[in-house]
Structure 1
Amino acid sequence: MRIVVTTPTGTVGSRVLRLLVQAGVRPVALLRDPARLPPDLAGLVEPVVADQTDADAVVGTTLGADRLYWVNPPGPPGTDPLAHHAACAAAVAEAVRRNGIGATVVQSSGGAELRRGVGDIDGLAATEQALDATGAPVLHLRCGYFMSNLLHAADELAGGTLSTPWPPDHPLPWVAPGDIAAVAAARLLGPAWSGRLVQAVHGPADLAFHDAAAVLTEVLGHPVRAVPLGSRAFREILAGAGMTPAEVDAVAGMAEGLAAPGYVPEQRRDAVSTTPTTLRSWAAEHLRAPEPA
């Protein structure tokens, strides 16, 4: 099969790329800078340069593709996130229609089923809808909260706090990016399907931030406590970091929408949506300092 992988140097895409290589596939890596691909993959993947907001470029680089793994990449700083999502959605839908791509796996998010009112996730919802309108086989992976978001808080964790825009007792499905990649690769390599499918990727357990802080306390060996920021304070922090109002709305809106009273993910936790990597094992690998030699 000819399988095209977008964001092949990203948190999830890079693992999808390796899994396909290990399965004997020579995937097409659609990216902006081929120099970012790991040197050990030279000759094992086909790098193709394209901007995912450029419909003509995406159509050209996916010509002959049997399957496609699609992730909307982040836009440049200062870009309106929802406008960027819309451009990506138009490009991938056009490519699927014109090239007759047999199956597309989309990295989406829990909350996309709401269609609006969830900040940046609204852009993923629009991408789902654009692909649904093609009538081609598509699978939307509705992912939970990435454990890797904690990497951005490494300095704060070292000081014993974990700030969060969510109420500290609000549960979320925490998932390891590697588990998302495993599900995506399995679907890309697996049997064909018809029509539209949705599959959640929920990780092994729903955790509130105070639960996560307790796990991190054990792993890091010092007390960590969850610190709720509140919506207004979180927005002020984002604006103070130089984000535009549209960017602030996109980021803060995700937390506000997913914490809305009564919201629960459309897909239940079951054997299909539950993945194995625990926060404890992920944190031990990625956050704990290595033992001295």
Structure 2
Amino acid sequence: MRIAVTTPNGNVGRHLTPMLVRAGVKPLLLTRHPEKVPDELARHVDVARADSRDSDQVVAATPGVETIYWVDPPAESADPLADYARATEAITSAVVENGIRRVVFQSSVGAEKRHGAGEIDGLAATEVALDGLEADVTHLRCGFFFANLLLDIESVRSGRLQTVQALESPMSWVAPRDIAEVAALTLLDRSWTGRRVQAVHGPEDLTWPQVAEILTAELGREVRVDRIPDEEMYHRYLSVGMPPAMADAVLGMSTGLRDGFVPEQQRSVVTTTPTTLRAWIREELLPVL
């Protein structure tokens, strides 16, 4: 079984690749930066240089691939949804031209809305495009990554986080390693067919004050979370250099998943994964503070 993995150095991919290796698979890694593949993995994997937004490169890299773990790269341009559209074109072209039979797609809670959730709309468009192909597809609808706290590390250090979300509204928080585990099991399981949605919700839903309480206990200093207006957050994004469309798309991921949004997949034993926020803080956050 030839399995390809995109963004192998990403939050999920860096865990997924060694899991597949331990399972006896020699995965094909598609990456813009082959030189970043760790030396200890190099002899256990194959590597192809490919930009996941370049259809020609992805098609050229995937002949003979039966199953692929696909991640739309985070938007980088002033037109974020166009970035997602290019990634969608790349994976659909590869599936059609190379006869890839199975796709496991890293999506997000909120993609079920299809419109009105900022960057998540780009993931929704990929879901729709994949569903229109003849391949078997599993969409992993992932909760809010614990690793997103690393994107705002200075705020964590200062002990003051800000959000536009309602503070008392719980949401699913998940460790990227747990997503990788679900992905690995899905990639290796030959029994499923058709279109599937598998949510990955982490161990429990958390409110922002609960997150702050856990951070306070684990860091040994007070961490608080304040809710700020949408407009203030938007201008904060502009102030760090985001183009307006990018700022809109990033903000929309928060504003689109509040005000009564209910995930299509409810929490269950199927969607609940084990790694707690406390464990993730100890393993991933504390070493970089």
Normalising to structure 1: TM-score of the pair?
A: 0.95
Pairing 1:16–2:16 present:
yes
Please say if residues 106 and 138 of structure 1, whose CA atoms lie closer than 8 Å, have aligned partners that are also in contact. Answer: yes
Task: Indicate if the aligned counterparts of 1:166 and 1:230 stay in contact, CA closer than 8 A.
Answer: no
Residue 146 (structure 1) aligns with: 145
Match of 1:181 in 2: 180
**Partner AA of 1:54 in structure 2:** D
Give the conservation status (yes or no) of the 8 Å contact 2:78–2:244.
no
- The answer for the alignment partner of 1:172 in structure 2 is 171
8 Å contact kept, 1:220–1:287: no
Give the C-alpha shift of residue 289 in structure 1. Answer: 5.3
Counterpart amino acid of residue 180 in structure 2: A
- Equivalent residues of 2:75, 2:81 under 8 A apart: no
Q: Which residue is equivalent to 1:34?
A: 34
Aligned to 1:206: 205
CA drift at 1:178: 0.3
Q: Secondary structure at the match of 1:288?
A: helix
Residue 158 of structure 1 corresponds to 157
Amino acid corresponding to residue 56 of structure 1 in structure 2: D
Return the offset for 1:287.
2.2
Q: Distance in 2 between matches of 1:158 and 1:262?
A: 32
Distance 1:75 1:67 in 2: 24
Query: How far is the alpha carbon of 1:222 from its aligned partner?
Result: 1.2
| Shift, 1:237, TM fit | 0.2
Q: CA deviation at 1:230?
A: 2.0
Cα separation, 2, equivalents of 1:111 and 1:289: 31
The residue number in structure 1 matching 2:129 is 130
Post-superposition Cα deviations, 1:164-199, rounded to whole Å, max 9, x if no partner, equal 221211211000000000000010011232210000
Q: Is the 8 A contact 1:103 1:193 kept in 2?
A: no
Distance 1:73 1:289 in 2: 26
Aligned match of 1:232:
231
* Preserved contact between residue 53 and residue 91 of structure 1 (Cα < 8 Å): yes
**Could you tell me which residue of structure 2 aligns to residue 52 of structure 1?**
52
1:191 counterpart residue number: 190
CA contact (8 A) 1:103 1:192 kept: no
Give the partner amino acid of 2:175.
A
* Displacement of 1:79: 3.6
Aligned to 2:285: 287
1:2 aligns with 2:2: yes
Alignment gaps of 5+ in structure 1 = none
AA partner of residue 39 (structure 1):
D
Q: CA deviation at 1:157?
A: 2.0
Match of 2:103 in 1: 104
Q: Which runs of 4+ in 1 moved over 6 A?
A: none
Task: Quote the RMSD (CA, aligned, Å).
Answer: 1.3
1:53-68 equivalent positions in 2, closer than 5 A: 53-68=53-68
Q: Could you report, residue by residue, the CA deviation over 1:257-278 in whole angstroms, capped at 9, with x for unpaired residues?
A: 011x221110010111000011
Deviation at 1:155, TM superposition (A): 2.5
- How many residues align structurally? 288
Residue 125 of structure 2: SS of its match in structure 1? helix
Counterpart amino acid of 1:3?
A: I
